[in-house]
Chain A
Amino acid sequence: MLIKILGPGCANCAALERVTRDALAQLGVDAEVVKVTGYAEIAAYGIMSTPGLVVDEQVLVAGRVPTTARVTELLAAHLAS
């Protein structure tokens, strides 16, 4: 599983990365987490509000920092599909 955190590096992006790592730890899943900070690359995912959470090239969250529980739920659903 390849996880990308989209955002220029403001507080919200850092929060999303922390939440995502917590969710991965809860699921006991090992995944590669990469940060994407280039604006052209962020925009190419079709999002206009940061931060964004992209899992295996699929945008799961944009424009807000969800709770750890919500990210855990999303990741579990993604793993099951």
Chain B
Amino acid sequence: MTVSPVRGLRAHPAARRWVLGLGAAVAWVVAYRSNAALWDWLVLDVGGLDPASRWGSGVHFFFYDSVKILLLLVAIVFVVTVARSFMSVERTRALLGGRREGLGNVAAAGLGVVTPFCSCSAVPAFIGFVSAGVPIGVTMSFLIASPMVNEVAIALLLGLFGPGATALYVGAGLVVAVAGGLVLGRVHAERWVEPFVFETRLRGQVVTATADLSWDDRLRMGWEEAVGILRRIWPYLLVGIGVGAVIHGWAPEDFFARYAGPGNPWAVPLAVVVGIPLYSNAAGILPLVEALHDKGLPMGTLLAFMMAVVALSLPEMILLRRVLRPPLIAVFVAVVGAGIVLVGYLFNAVLA
């Protein structure tokens, strides 16, 4: 009796996939919905902590936020990876080939967001684009948008601040990528690209990374990516949530608002300067951002901080140094940094 449905499902992989997928989705929704109640019960009722006390609010924040962020990350990274398995850097290059500046920058920024991309592929992608005749400025729009609009950041912003802030983040990232690429295209950046890039020719047929995938492959890739990202970032995540919990429970109510609040015109550039050397990733930084937001820091300042942490990282620049000379890397940092500062001011003005 109990064996036959399982055996039936084994014989029908498509049906099995649907049952598994549906089961996972329902389990996810139940877990996400009951997260707050679970920690209310465990921390406040069983643990006996007062929600208004420092320990109560700090400990509750830590556990509740950890579970919430883990659930969000798994779901959104899975969905994004499966969706992205239909795109590839090779296909993006084909779409951008022959594009002029202007519209090309807009297309490149948009493709930078949807193309699956690991930062160690930045250099091969750069070489591939340039050797296909994609202008430097358009290529840079792609390379700026790709880390700037990050799927982990989208997942967390959506969960912590809702669709409005998420749309602002994506829109701002695209604007910085388009504007940055346009500026870099104007300064004749070709002089600062290592000559071997122009001498490299792609040999033979360009291989498309994701052309021959079945649905099973795509779903497996989604799952492996979700697990892989969790495995890589959990220490950052726990440190970020831990610092967030301390700020949540212990920082005086107006401490951050007094020094970095709307009244301080230097807060936005300061947030960017502080953010650059803090090599973390969106997952480690967002719980911090959430706690700081609760303490009265304006959204624009926080978004600028987050973008600086994610998009202007030292390891990325060391990688790019293999193809770009220092002046171009300096211009890249200056342009992207200035764009982020402007976005910060804009959001503070709009959202205030």
| A contact residues vs B (CB 8 Å cutoff) | 7-13, 39-40, 42-50, 52, 59, 61-65, 67, 70
Which B residues are CB-close (under 8 A) to A9? 120
| B contact residues vs A (CB 8 Å cutoff) | 88-90, 93, 116-121, 123-125, 127-129, 131, 196, 199-210, 217, 220-221, 224, 232, 319, 322-323
| Cα–Cα, bound, A79→B118 (Å) | 30
| Cα–Cα, bound, A59→B203 (Å) | 11
**Which chain A residue shows the least CB distance to B131?**
A43
Which B residues are CB-close (under 8 A) to A10? 118-120
Highest count of chain A CB atoms <10 Å: which of B120, B129, B196, B224: B120
Given A10-B118, A43-B131, A64-B210, the answer on whether A48 and B203 have CB atoms closer than 8 Å is no
Task: Check B204–A62 contact: CB distance below 8 A.
Answer: no
Task: Check A8–B120 contact: CB distance below 8 A.
Answer: yes
Given A40-B200, A46-B203, the answer on whether A63 and B209 have CB atoms closer than 8 Å is yes
Given A40-B196, A44-B201, A49-B90, the answer on whether A63 and B210 have CB atoms closer than 8 Å is yes
Task: Check B125–A49 contact: CB distance below 8 A.
Answer: yes
**Which chain B residue shows the least CB distance to A11?**
B232
Task: Check A39–B209 contact: CB distance below 8 A.
Answer: no
**Which chain B residue shows the least CB distance to A9?**
B120
Which A residues are CB-close (under 8 A) to B131? 43
Which B residues are CB-close (under 8 A) to A50? 118, 120-121, 124
Given A8-B319, A13-B120, A39-B323, the answer on whether A46 and B209 have CB atoms closer than 8 Å is no
List 15 A–B pairs whose Cβ atoms lie within 8 Å, in order of A's numbering. Answer: A10-B119, A46-B203, A46-B204, A47-B207, A48-B89, A48-B125, A49-B88, A49-B89, A49-B116, A49-B117, A49-B118, A49-B121, A50-B120, A63-B210, A67-B220
